[in-house]
Amino acid sequence: MIAIGIDIGGMSIKGAAVDSNGRVYETFSMPCEKGEPGEITIRKLAEIVKDYISTFGLEDKIVGIGIGCPGTLDVKNGVVEYSNNLGWNNLPIAALMNEVLSYPIRLTNDANAAALGEAKYGAGEEYNNIIMLTLGTGVGGGIIIDGKLYEGNLGKGGELGHTVVQVDGEQCTCGRKGCLEAYASATALIRETKKAMFNNEQSLMWNICPDIDMVGGKVSFEAAKQGDEAAIEVLNNYIKYLGEGILNYCNIFRPEAIVLSGGVANAGDYLFSRLNQYVRDRNYGYKMTPEVKILPAELGYDSGKIGAAALFFK
């Protein structure tokens, strides 16, 4: 069984044919030009997909086209209601695609698509119930229950970054204060790294990144591995908030695993060993409650495409 999986991002749209073993065929890609009306972008996409399908002679093999897209979606009707990053408003993606392509179209949130991909073919492959958290500009999430994506009423659930862990805390982009996103995103880590650098002129972090405007999510990790105290403090605090958020999801879902993706999740053992320890030490209900494994994602940038296609696989 083969489906087309498409991952819409702020800079580009990427897609590929994906089979039900999670194998990704040749990838196509087009820029997502800021300012271009969404109708035009999607009509271009539809033509590219049509050409792709005919080039590879897949006309009779494709069971559908799955699309992962950021923003507020009407998944039932295949409409992007609002996407700040893309500048799209009430864009009927499914209808526009169907002007050119007669396959069924399924739309889901980009974080949901990535979670489904990781759950079925990546880090969560062995498990039926996983939670994925994407630690990037924001904190996205996906809920997989019994191997299937849980999206909530009208597809509006799974906003796992927008759960308050600190009432009256840091301002979040969603309007509330103290969301997990405001503490566990790469953006939050960079904010705290910069603060620590300003307060510690002798920190190794200045050697690693002399230009404060260029500070990224890796600076604190690199300095901490070399024993820099300011960096260690930044990361201890980051791990504490992320750990508390993860513990919350453990107690709510008691999944078999929690998969972390996004830039920060590439930090490797420094992050995962401490995070696993933090969560293990605070596991609810003594030793009788099963541990939840915290794992890095495995599929990288393919997860969105694979998961979008997997909307058509059992």
Which phi and psi (to 5°) does residue 64 adopt? 170, 175
Using the structure block, give the residue that is written with the tokens 């509006």.
Answer: 156
Are 29 and 45 in contact by the 8 Å Cβ rule? The answer is: no
Asked if 185 is part of the footprint of its own copies (rule: CB under 8 A), the reply reads no
Q: Residue 3 or residue 182: which is nearer to its own copies going by CB?
A: 182
Does 173 bind its own copies (CB under 8 A)? Our answer is no
> Of 167 and 214, which has the nearer Cβ to its own copies?
167
200 binds its own copies, rule: CB under 8 A:
no
**What is the separation of C-alpha 240 from the centre of its chain, rounded to a whole number of angstroms?**
20
Q: Is 126 in the site for its own copies (CB under 8 A)?
A: no
Question: What DSSP letter does each residue of 117-147 carry, written as one string?
Answer: HHHHHSTTTT-SSEEEEEESSSEEEEEEETT
- Of 214 and 287, nearer to its own copies (C-beta) is 287
When asked if residue 92 is in the footprint of its own copies (CB under 8 A), the reply is no
Q: Is residue 284 at the binding interface for its own copies, with CB under 8 A as the rule?
A: yes
Query: How far is 38 from 177, CA to CA, in rounded Å?
Result: 32
Q: How many residues bind its own copies (CB under 8 A)?
A: 47
Per-residue string for binding with its own copies, 235-254, x by CB under 8 A? -----xx--x--xx--xxxx
What is the C-alpha to C-alpha distance for residues 65 and 310, in angstroms, rounded to an integer?
10
Closest C-alpha to 30, from 54, 55, 58, 6: 6
Give yes or no for residue 214 binding its own copies (CB under 8 A): no
Residues 251-270 that bind its own copies (CB under 8 A): 251-256
Asked whether position 10 contacts its own copies by CB under 8 A, the answer is no
Strand pairing category for 12-19 and 24-31? antiparallel
Q: Does residue 165 touch its own copies according to CB under 8 A? A: yes
156 binds its own copies (CB under 8 A): yes
Nearest approach, Cβ of residue 131 and its own copies (Å) = 10
Name the residue nearer to its own copies (CB basis): 113 or 160.
Answer: 160
Residues 6+ apart with CB under 8 A from 305: 5, 6, 7, 14, 15, 16, 18, 24, 27, 68, 113, 117
Packed helices 229-253 and 186-199: angle between N→C axes, nearest 10 degrees: 150
> How far out from the chain centre does Cα 188 lie?
16
Among 160, 208, 209, 231, which residue interacts with its own copies (rule: CB under 8 A)? 160
Q: Measured on CA atoms in the order 179, 184, 188, 192, is the torsion positive or negative?
A: positive
Among 30, 48, 58, 145, binds its own copies (CB under 8 A): 145
Interface with its own copies includes 30 (CB under 8 A)?
no
Could you tell me the smallest distance in angstroms from the CB atom of residue 245 to its own copies?
8
Based on CB atoms, which residue is closest to its own copies, 221 or 241?
Answer: 241
| 143 sits near its own copies (criterion: CB under 8 A) | yes
In the list 20, 72, 77, 187, the residue contacting its own copies (rule: CB under 8 A) is 72
Distance, first Cα to last Cα, the chain = 10
CB of 310 to its own copies, least distance (A): 20
Q: Is 174 in the site for its own copies (CB under 8 A)?
A: yes
The region that residue 141 occupies, defined by phi over 0 for left and psi between -120 and 50 for alpha, beta otherwise, is beta
What's at 242, amino acid-wise? Answer: L
Residues β-bridged to residue 269: none
Q: Provide the binding-site residues for its own copies, judged by CB under 8 A.
A: 72, 74, 81-82, 129, 143, 145, 150-160, 162-167, 169, 174-176, 240-241, 244, 247-248, 251-256, 282, 284-286, 288-290, 292
